[in-house]
Amino acid sequence: MTDFADSNWEAVIGLEIHTQLSTRSKIFSGASTQFGAAPNTQACAIDLGFPGVLPVVNQEVYRKAVAFGLGIGATIGLTSVFDRKNYFYPDLPKGYQITQLEAPIVMGGTVDITLEDSSQKTIRVTRAHLEEDAGKSLHEDFHGQTGIDLNRAGTPLLEIVSEPDMSSAEEAVAYARYIHQLVTFLGVSDGDMSQGSLRCDANVSVRPKGSTELGTRTETKNVNSFRFLERAINHEIERQIRVIESGGRVIQETRLYDPDKDETRPMRSKETATDYRYFPEPDLLPVEIDEAYIQQVREQMPELPAAKAARYVSEFELPEADARVLSSERQLASYFEQVVELSGDAKLASNWVRVELLGQLNKDGVEISDAPITPAALGTLIARIREGRISGKIAKTVFEALWSGAASDPDSYIEAEGLVQVSDSGSLEPVIDAIIAANPKQVEQLREGKGKLMGFFVGQVMKETGGKANPQQVNDLISKKLGL
């Protein structure tokens, strides 16, 4: 919570999120969208709006936008129309951006966010529309000059606009995270924020607590990390309160968040829609889709995080919090589900994936897609614990060997290293007898009902057998021998 929470002010926040759709080619041309190519090698005449060219809509862009709309329970626009938004900027050589104004592809929909204190809130989405990205101005590379890279021109974007329903940076970040999770789950976007695949514009205003009127807002553009989003919003809230409390008024303007200075500062005064002289794009027909198409997209959609988490609770009997962790990322969920399938034990799978696997991934800074242990190997390892072939303790050493590359297959490693759990009583009994003989005082106490001492004896046997004894069996054998 920030200081203003106790003040007489409340904040109002609406987000516009631009997400790059992960298509191979651009929204209206066949040029590649690959990130990181040499400047100005991937923009064709259509992206640059040369005279006489004709844009053609990339079908995949529609499929992704419709999937997103269905993911938030929105109304899908059966007839959507592209418009030209005219403005001048060096990285927009066409002089206009093709976007959707009056008839977007996605209308309405909601997002349920969960906050730190477990409370929930529903944020309404106003709309999501398709548009093309502009090029990039590069200010750092040339001293006193600006470089223009047009590779990004024509990259497909889905701009997701929320209602001004959020009232803190925490809520805004939870909403943005939800959108990020949804678009990555659906395969709509790769969501890579460091490459600009998801950028947030934060609209922020403040008003006296309890007021129903909206205050004047500012829009902080292109915030490309959740941490910066939180900071930019909190700075803006505090700045606006300061301005008003010192007798000034907030000016509607576009601002920029500077992570190096950790501040927002003015970029330009806010344009209004009339400044852009929007008009329907004459080179593209309205796009008509029907219910059958929507149904087809719906059938191809993967199970979404909330549904997955609910299923993990009902089907696998996992605690809600664990289910939420395991369903939070698409690759993690898929990994976990494979481990469950192979091990036949969802609870053990959940523990091993959350504790051991995620622990190691975090520790080594490795993404799950690069995990050195395959779901098949982990599934097998867990199956061996379940079968009583190895103990949980030995399993950890096998896990470490798999992680470091010392082992590639759990079974052959267990075999080669002689790690199989000793569970024939013939070889355990002499060990137990020796330990009983060596610890008469503890035997006495155990007989007198000091149950805690059982742990001591089991521990001794485990130590003696290098962790290979089956603890439950040791327990049983000791009880029997001492007549407990």
Question: Where does this chain bind ligand ADP (CB under 6 A)?
Answer: 12-16, 161-164, 203-205, 214-215, 217
Q: 249 or 441, CB closer to ligand ADP?
A: 249
- Exposure of 198 in the CB half-sphere (CA atoms within 13 A): 22
Q: 24 or 277, CB closer to ligand ADP?
A: 277
Instruction: Tell me the closest approach of the beta carbon of residue 368 to ligand ADP, in angstroms.
Output: 33
Instruction: Tell me the closest approach of the beta carbon of residue 166 to ligand ADP, in angstroms.
Output: 9
Amino acid 198 reads L
Q: 12 or 407, CB closer to ligand ADP?
A: 12
Q: 167 or 439, CB closer to ligand ADP?
A: 167
CA-nearest of 313, 338, 340, 334 to 324 is 313
Provide CB contacts within 8 A for 299, sequence distance 6+. none
| DSSP classification of residue 113 | E
| DSSP classification of residue 465 | T
Chain residue whose CB lies nearest ligand ADP: 14
Q: 163 or 411, CB closer to ligand ADP?
A: 163
Q: 16 or 411, CB closer to ligand ADP?
A: 16
**Cα–Cα distance for residue pair 161/107, rounded to 1 Å:** 10
**Cα–Cα distance for residue pair 236/263, rounded to 1 Å:** 8
Q: How far is CA 417 from the centre of its chain?
A: 39
Q: What are phi and psi of 332, to 5 degrees?
A: -65, -45
- Exposure of 467 in the CB half-sphere (CA atoms within 13 A): 14
What is the b/e burial string over 140-156, where b = at least 16 CB atoms within 10 angstroms of the residue's CB? eeeeeeeebbbbbbbbb
Contact 240, 266 (CB under 8 A): no
Instruction: Tell me the closest approach of the beta carbon of residue 284 to ligand ADP, in angstroms.
Output: 21
Instruction: Tell me the closest approach of the beta carbon of residue 102 to ligand ADP, in angstroms.
Output: 13
**Cα–Cα distance for residue pair 274/251, rounded to 1 Å:** 19
The two structure tokens encoding residue 405: 């590359």
Instruction: Tell me the closest approach of the beta carbon of residue 349 to ligand ADP, in angstroms.
Output: 41
Instruction: Tell me the closest approach of the beta carbon of residue 199 to ligand ADP, in angstroms.
Output: 14
Q: 4 or 413, CB closer to ligand ADP?
A: 4
Instruction: Tell me the closest approach of the beta carbon of residue 121 to ligand ADP, in angstroms.
Output: 15
Q: 207 or 396, CB closer to ligand ADP?
A: 207
Tracing tokens 């996605």 back to the chain, one arrives at 106
CA-atom Rg of the chain in angstroms: 30
**Cα–Cα distance for residue pair 88/96, rounded to 1 Å:** 7
Instruction: Tell me the closest approach of the beta carbon of residue 172 to ligand ADP, in angstroms.
Output: 10
